[in-house]
């Protein structure tokens, strides 16, 4: 039988500082009522002194401990992030040093909010091919340093955090059954952070023009997200010959509770089978799925042999899914 990859440990970490909707009411022209109704968010976490690799480190330690794997036993470290410590080197390389890992490779994946599932697909394929045995995959963001704290349409949405998984080679029936990656670059400007790259290198003008913060066409993105995710989840189940009623749990990217509910309704899934943490952490981009996964694992809401569906949508535009037999 061919190799498969299985998640053998999960971990997550969020910074201590809590920023509530009421705190935001004092900063911008918004209300707790608006944010709650339109997004489901009540509060989010904000990193103080910590960097993205610091968040990665804490989440990774917990995932490695849960898997019973030492940093030196990992063949590859992948960090999914769009808010890494610096453009170069990768945050994965900085994490490599902080973890005292040994001979593993290390690189970052950037597919914005779909990043964790893109990373999962890469890791799964390295293991399936037989090239690697153990991979540490982290989704981590310090979004709070890349939002305009005067723009009410974006600053209320995002939060900081990290989630990690250890993937190991297996030959059994359990593990990652399939991963699915998509994108449509025609809508790249729906969500972007235009400054700081080769198109607009940092200058006093790019700073003055606020080009180093997230810009989003929220309503347009919302409509594409709902439509796309509906098709994504039904296609993923169809490809695996699984009925929605056979799913034990959906772990969606946490951008907006209305989007999460729309996808659940499409599959006739009760919200008790849907992981939600957007109320507590806001949109943590590539960290949202691994944080939610770690929560449901630790709360024992999924058990051996359960079917679990992961799905995400984000800048690019990108979208992705994975079906797991736990
Ligand atoms: O994670 C990556 C993918 N991202 C997403 O999937 C995000 C998708 N988009 C969304 O979640 C929603 O579109 C938002 C939560 C961003 C916005 O909700 P919306 O229902 O689409 O609102 P809107 O952008 O259409 O704005 C409605 C109104 C506007 O006022 P007018 O023009 O109707 O007078 C906004 O100016 O709400 C206003 N508004 C606010 N009011 C109070 C926008 N932000 C705020 C705010 N507080 N924070």
Q: What is the pLDDT of residue 284?
A: 98
* Nearest alpha carbon, ligand 1 atom 8: 222
Catalytic residues: 113, 253, 283
Strands of 247-252's sheet in order across = 175-183, 318-325, 307-314, 247-252
Q: What are phi and psi of 314, to 5 degrees?
A: -170, -165
Share of the chain above pLDDT 90, in %: 98
pLDDT higher than 70, residue 267: yes
**Could you tell me if 254 and 276 are in contact, meaning their C-beta atoms sit under 8 angstroms apart?**
yes
Q: Where in the chain are the domains? A: 4-173, 177-275+288-325
* Nearest alpha carbon, ligand 1 atom 30: 153
Decide: residue 92, CB within 10 A, 0-12 exposed, 13-18 middle, 19+ buried: buried
pLDDT higher than 80, residue 258: yes
pTM of the model: 0.97
pLDDT higher than 90, residue 2: no
pLDDT band at 103 (very low <50, low <70, confident <90, very high): confident
Distance, CA 158 to ligand 1 centroid (Å)? 13
Which residues does ligand 1 sit against, CB inside 6 Å? 30, 34-35, 38-39, 113, 152-153, 156, 191, 218-219, 221-222, 225, 255-256, 259, 283, 313-314
Q: Give residue-wise pLDDT tens across range 277-306.
A: 999 999 999 999 999 999 999 999 999 999
Q: What is the pLDDT of residue 1?
A: 63
Q: Give residue-wise pLDDT tens across range 66-102.
A: 999 999 999 999 999 999 999 999 999 999 999 999 8
pLDDT higher than 70, residue 265: yes
Axis-axis angle for helices 257-266, 218-239 (nearest 10): 30
DSSP per residue, 267-305: TT--GGGB---HHHH-B-GGGHHHHHHHHHHHTT-S-TT
* Nearest alpha carbon, ligand 1 atom 25: 219
Residues near 204 by Cβ (< 8 Å), separated by ≥ 6? none
150, 219, 224, 286: residue to mutate for ligand 1 pocket, most atoms within 8 A of CB: 219
Scored b (16 or more CB within 10 A) or e, 124-159 reads bebbbeeebbbbbbbbbbbbbebbeeeebebbbbbb
| Helix ranges, 138-271 (H) | 152-155, 204-208, 218-239, 257-266
State the closest ligand 1 atom to the C-alpha of 112, by its place in the atom list counted from 1: 2
Structure tokens at 275: 């992981």
Q: Identical fold at 4-173 and 177-275+288-325?
A: yes
Of 187, 77, 183, nearest to 136 (Cα)? 77
The whole-number average pLDDT for the span 7-13 is: 98
Name the fold adopted by 4-173: Peroxisomal Thiolase; Chain A, domain 1 (3.40.47)
CATH assignment, 177-275+288-325: 3.40.47.10
Q: Which residue has the tokens 């009760």?
A: 270
């Amino acid at each position: 039988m061919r190799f498969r990859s299985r998640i053998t440990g999960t971990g997550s970490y969020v910074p201590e500082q809590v920023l509530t909707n009421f705190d935001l009411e004092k900063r911008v022209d918004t209300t707790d009522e608006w944010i709650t109704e339109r997004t489901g968010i009540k509060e989010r976490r904000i990193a103080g002194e910590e960097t993205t690799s610091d968040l990665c480190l804490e989440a990774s330690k917990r995932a490695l401990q849960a898997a019973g794997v030492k940093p030196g036993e990992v063949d590859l470290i992948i960090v999914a992030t769009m808010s890494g410590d610096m453009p170069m080197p990768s945050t994965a390389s900085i994490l490599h040093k902080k973890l005292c890992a040994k001979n593993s490779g290390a690189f970052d994946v950037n597919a914005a909010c779909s990043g964790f599932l893109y990373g999962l697909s890469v890791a799964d394929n390295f293991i399936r091919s037989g090239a690697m045995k153990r991979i540490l995959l982290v989704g981590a963001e310090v979004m709070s340093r890349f939002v305009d704290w005067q723009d009410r349409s974006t600053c209320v949405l995002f939060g900081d955090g990290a989630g990690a998984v250890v993937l190991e080679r297996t030959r059994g029936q359990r593990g990652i059954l399939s991963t699915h990656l998509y994108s449509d670059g025609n809508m790249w400007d729906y969500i972007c952070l235009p400054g700081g790259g080769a198109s607009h290198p940092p200058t006093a003008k790019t700073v003055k023009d606020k080009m180093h913060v997230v810009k989003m066409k929220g309503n347009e993105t919302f409509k594409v997200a709902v439509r796309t995710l509906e098709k994504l989840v039904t296609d993923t189940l169809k490809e695996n010959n699984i009925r929605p009623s056979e799913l034990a749990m959906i772990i969606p990217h946490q951008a907006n509770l209305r989007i999460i509910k729309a996808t659940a309704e499409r599959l006739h899934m009760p919200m008790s089978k849907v992981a939600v943490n957007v109320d507590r952490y806001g949109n943590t981009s590539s960290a949202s799925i691994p944080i939610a996964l770690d929560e449901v694992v630790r709360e024992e809401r999924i058990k051996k042999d359960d079917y679990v569906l992961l799905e995400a949508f984000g800048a690019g535009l990108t979208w992705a899914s994975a079906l797991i037999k736990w």
